[in-house]
Structure 1
Amino acid sequence: MSEQAVSILATHPWVDTAWWDQGKRAILVRPSASAVAVRPVPGPLLIEHLEHWRHVYEYVYSTTEGRHGDDLDLSGWRASDTGKPFSRDHMIEWVQHAVGLVLRDKPRVVLELGCGSGLLAHRVHRSTRAYVGIDVAEPAVERLRAQALPGVRVLQGAAHELTSASVTSALREATGDDTAAPDCVVLNSVTQCFPNEQYLTAVLDDALDLVAAGGTVVVGDIRNLANASSFARWLETARYPDSTEPQLTARIADRLAADEELLCDPRLFARIAARHHRDIRTTCYAKPFHDDTELTRYRYDIVYTVDRPAPEPARTIEWSTLSGYRLRAVDLTREPTLITGIPNALLDPHAPDAVRPAELAAAVPPSWAVLLDSADGRLLAAGPPEHYHDRDAVRGNDSTAGCNNPNTTFVQRRLPEILTDYLERELPTAATPLIAVAQEPTVP
C-alpha cells in the first residue's frame, strides 16, 4: 500500500518528490518549487499561508472587542506578556507616531498596504489629496468603505497585488490623473504576516518601483529578529517568573522555533535598498513611547527615501562625550547634528548614561527623531532623520542579516493535511499513512 500511496502523492502538483522512510514509518515529501514560489506569481502553498492570515484578521475585525469608534478600532491589539489589551493611551501614541512618519514629508497621494480598520486612514486623509487603502480582510474593507471618508478609496487585496490593475484604477480614480504615482507607500504593522523574506523583498521592490521620485516607503512596526532572543526571554520570564535558567533557556528556544510571524533584522532593509536600481536612503526609527511594552522595546520602523538629493553632511557627536543629559548644553541648531551611541535603558539598563527612548525624544528638538544605532536596539541615535546615514543598525553589507522563515513551519504543518485529504480521496478504502515534509522547501 505504501508504494501505491507514494506513487499517488508524487503526482500531486504541489509535490516535487515523495518516498517511504522506513525509520520514520512515514511518507516523506518535498514541496515543489512552484508551490512555494513568490515570483512570477505566488505559489499555492504561499497563497495558503496568506489565506491563513486573512481568516485570522477577518475574525478579529468581525468582533467589536477593542473598538472605541470608527477612527480607533483596536481589535486584536493585546500584549503578549499579559494577554490584556494595550492601554488606549499607548495605542493612541502608537498611531500618532506612525502618522507622523507618513506625513513628515507632506505627501499628496498615499497608498497603504494593510490599511485594516483605518487607524491611519482616518488621520492621514485630512492632509492629503488622495488616499488608497488595501487590505485582505473583507470586514475591515467594507467598514472603511461605508465610512465614505473624503478622498479615500479602499479595496480588498493582498500586498503582492500592489501593481495590479485594480490598484492602478483606484489611484487614477482617487487623483483624477492617469499617471499619478503615490508620494508615500505605507506598510504599517503588516510585515509580521508575510510568509518569508522573499515575499517581503518582492513587495518592497514593487513599492520602491511605484513610489514617485522624492517620495517615501514607510515600513512600520516591524518585529526585530536581531533582538528576538531578548524578547523571548523577557516574555517567558514574565509568564514563568519562577523558571530555572535551564527551563527558561528551553522555553526561549521553543518560542523562537515556533514563531508564526515574520521577524526582520533591520540590516536587511539596507541590503534591499542597496541592490535596487533607484537611489534610496534607509532610515531606522526607534519607538519613543512612554509605556514599556513589546511595541516600544522590540519593534522599529524603516523609512525609505527615494530619488531625493542627499543633504549636507552632519556632524556626529558621541553620547559618551556629553555625559548624558548635558545634551541640553550643546547648540543643536547651529549645524546639522547626529548624536550617536546612546545606550537604550529599556534594553541595556545598566549601561552608563542609559536613557529611555521617550526621555530622549522629549529632550531633543521637535524636528529630530529617535533612531536605532545598532540592529538590536541596544544603542540609539538622535538627530534629523534625513542625516541618518550608514549606521550600524542598517549597514547593508551583512549578508547574514535577514528574516526567520515562518512559511517553512506553515508548510510542514499544512502540506501533510492537504496530502492526507488527497490520499483519502484517491485511496478511500486504505489506511492513510503518516505524511511529513522532508526538508525546507526551496524557493527559486
Structure 2
Amino acid sequence: MTERRPAPAPAPSGTAASGQAAAATVARHLTRHPAVEDAAVLLRASPDGRDELAAYVVPVAGYLAARAPEWASEHVGGWKDVFEHVYRDVPAGTAGTARPADGADVPSVEPEFDRSGWNSSYTGTVMTRREVGEAIDSIVDQATALPHRRVLEVGCGTGMLLQRLAQRTERYWATDLSGRVLRAVQQRLDASPRPYPGVTLLEREGTDFSGFDDDSLDLVLLNSVVQYFPSAHYLREVLREAVRVVRPGGAVFLGDVRDLRLLHVFHSSVEVFHAESGSRAGELRRRVRAAAAEDGELLVDPGFFAALAAELPGLRDVGVQLKRGTVANELTKFRYDVTLRVGERPRPGPEPRVERWEPASGSVAAVESRLGRGEAMEVVILDVPDSRTAGDVATWRALSGSAPDTRLADLPSPGAPRGEAPGLWWAAGRRYGLTVAVTPPRSGTPGRYDVALSRSGSTAPWAPRTPADTLTSAPLHHVLSDDLAVELRGLLAEHLPPDLVPARIAVVDRIPHRPDGTLDAGLLPEPTDGARE
C-alpha cells in the first residue's frame, strides 16, 4: 500500500480549483457548529486505498470544559462495567485459563492469587503465574519498605496485594469500583484460616477519600489503576487527596504506570507480533498510529510526577523507577513505579557526579570494578542501553524509517538484545550496600534508562532534561472525536450533498499553518477508523 502526503483537495472529483472551493465550503459549514473554533478539509487515502474527504476540527475550549465532567463520569462508569464483567466468575473460580511455561492449562483463579484481568496485549490470554507473581512480589517488597501501619489501597481488584500486606498492618482499607469483586474478596477473607480483622472494603471510585482525616494514614497504594483514570485532572485530584490523608513521613505509591514516551514503541511491538511476514511497513505504521490514537487508557510521562513537587503542598520528594523483574513483558518494558514521600524536604545530600554511559566505564561490570577498588559512588549514569526494550525500539525505528511498500520480513532484524538488564544494577546495589534508582531516561530517548547510585542512601531527584509539551495522554479525546463527529456529520448532511460529507472527522488541538499563512497539511495526523460514525 502506498502512503500519500495529504494535499488540500475537497471532493473526490472535479478540478483543483473547484475542489478547493468545495473544501472551503465544507470547512465553513463545520465552523458554524457552536463547538468548532477552526476546521480544515483534505483528501486522504483510506485504508483500502480509496481517496476520501477527511475533516479536522479544533473544538471551542468552553465546549470541552462543559462536557468534561460528563465524559469523565461516563469513562469511569464504563470501566466499572468492564470490571464487573471481568470479575463475574470470581466467586466460582472460573475466570479463565492461562498457559504457563510447561504448557499445562491452569485456572487463573487460585486462592489468594486470582489473575482475573491480567491479560496479555499480545496473546489476549491471562498472563502466566510467574509474570503476575513477579509483578506482585515487586510491589509488596516496595510497599513493605515504606511505612505501612495504616494503609489505603485504591483499586484493590481481586485482592492480591491486600492478602499479602494486610496482616502486616494495623488497619487496611481497600476500595474498588466493582462491588462484585469486593464481595468475592470478602468471601475469601472470611473463608481464610488466617484472620483479617483490620480490613475494611469500600465500593467507591478513586477520587472518593471521604471518611479519611488529614494525616491519618501511613501509605496510600494505587497499583495498576492509574491507566483507568479518565484524565490528568482526575489523576491530580486523586493524588492531592492521597497526599492530604498521608501523615508526614508516609508515602503514596503508584505501581504499573504506563509510560507515555513509549506509547508508539508499545503499539508497534503489538502490531508486529500479530502481523504476517508479508505485511507492508506503510500499513503497519497506519495501524500503530490508529492504535495509539484509539488507546483508551491514561499514559503518563514521568515528567508529570517530577512537576508534582511544586504543585502539591506537603510533598517531600518524588521517586521514579523502572519496573523490577526478570521477565521482559509489557509490564516491565513499558511501565514504571512512582513513590511520593510526604513531609518536610530533607537537606540535600552529596552532589552526584553525572556521567554519560560508556561501555568501558558505565557498564555494570565496570562499575563493580570501580567499587571493588574502593571508589566513592555518588553518581548518575545517563542513557544506559536497556536490554529489555532494545528489540522493540529497533523494530519501531526500522518500521518508521522504511519505505511504505517494504515487507515486514525485509526489515532489518533487531538481533540479540543489547544493553544492560536493569535488574543487574539492583543486584549490584545489594552486594555493595548502595542505594540504587534505575529510572526512565532524563533525555527521553527510547531504549535507554538512567542509573543513580549512592552510598549516602539518598539518590539524586529525577527530573527531565527537557520538559515535554504533553505530559499525559487524553483518554477522553477519542470519545470527543466520536461524539462530535456524529454531530458534525449530521449537520453537514442537512446542507451538503453526500459526496461532500467527510468520511472521517478528527478532533485536533490546532490547525497547523506555515509562516506564510497557508495550511501545513503534512503536520495533520491521519484520521483513524475510530472517527467514523
TM-score (norm 2): 0.65
Matched, 1:96 2:137: yes
**Paired residue total:** 394
Structure 2: stretches of 5+ with no match in the other structure: 1-32, 42-52, 90-94, 98-107, 191-195, 392-414, 490-500, 510-533
1:168-225 deviation line (CA, Å, top 9, x unaligned): 3xxxxxxxxx776111111111111111111111211221222111111111101110
Cα deviation for residue 315 of structure 1 reads 3.9
What's the secondary structure of 2:471's corresponding residue? coil
Taking structure 1 as reference, are residues 399 and 290 closer, same or farther at Cα in structure 2, changes over 3 Å only? closer
In structure 2, distance between residues paired with 1:328 and 1:310:
29
Taking structure 1 as reference, are residues 408 and 323 closer, same or farther at Cα in structure 2, changes over 3 Å only? closer
In structure 1, distance between residues paired with 2:174 and 2:471:
28
Amino acid at match of 2:83: Y
In structure 1, distance between residues paired with 2:216 and 2:318:
20
- Map of 2:461 onto structure 1: 390
- Map of 2:239 onto structure 1: 204
Taking structure 1 as reference, are residues 328 and 317 closer, same or farther at Cα in structure 2, changes over 3 Å only? farther
Structure 1: stretches of 5+ with no match in the other structure: 1-14, 38-42, 169-177, 421-432
1:49 to 66, 75, 84: 75
What's the secondary structure of 1:406's corresponding residue? coil
Taking structure 1 as reference, are residues 34 and 145 closer, same or farther at Cα in structure 2, changes over 3 Å only? farther
In structure 2, distance between residues paired with 1:144 and 1:115:
9
Cα deviation for residue 338 of structure 1 reads 4.3
Cα deviation for residue 157 of structure 1 reads 0.3
2:368 to 316, 319, 328: 328
Alignment of 1:249-328 (within 5 A): 249-308=285-344, 309-310=346-347, 312-313=349-350, 315-316=352-353, 318=355, 319-320=357-358, 321-328=361-368
- Map of 2:175 onto structure 1: 134
In structure 2, distance between residues paired with 1:116 and 1:371:
28
2:386 to 344, 359, 382: 344
Matched, 1:409 2:478: yes
Aligned 8 A contact 1:271 1:396 in 2: no
What's the secondary structure of 2:272's corresponding residue? helix
Aligned 8 A contact 1:267 1:396 in 2: no
Cα deviation for residue 69 of structure 1 reads 2.3
Cα deviation for residue 77 of structure 1 reads 1.1
- Map of 2:86 onto structure 1: 60
Amino acid at match of 1:354: G
Q: Percent identity?
A: 27
Aligned 8 A contact 1:315 1:335 in 2: no
Amino acid at match of 1:62: R
Matched, 1:108 2:108: no
What's the secondary structure of 2:130's corresponding residue? helix
2:197 to 141, 145, 150: 150
Taking structure 1 as reference, are residues 387 and 140 closer, same or farther at Cα in structure 2, changes over 3 Å only? same
In structure 2, distance between residues paired with 1:387 and 1:252:
40
Give the greater-gyration-radius structure (CA).
2
Q: Root-mean-square deviation (CA), in Å?
A: 3.7
Taking structure 1 as reference, are residues 386 and 248 closer, same or farther at Cα in structure 2, changes over 3 Å only? farther
In structure 2, distance between residues paired with 1:58 and 1:352:
40
In structure 2, distance between residues paired with 1:214 and 1:238:
45
In structure 2, distance between residues paired with 1:203 and 1:185:
10
Taking structure 1 as reference, are residues 114 and 377 closer, same or farther at Cα in structure 2, changes over 3 Å only? farther
Matched, 1:247 2:286: no
Aligned 8 A contact 2:222 2:254 in 1: yes
In structure 1, distance between residues paired with 2:183 and 2:438:
36
Aligned 8 A contact 1:324 1:353 in 2: no
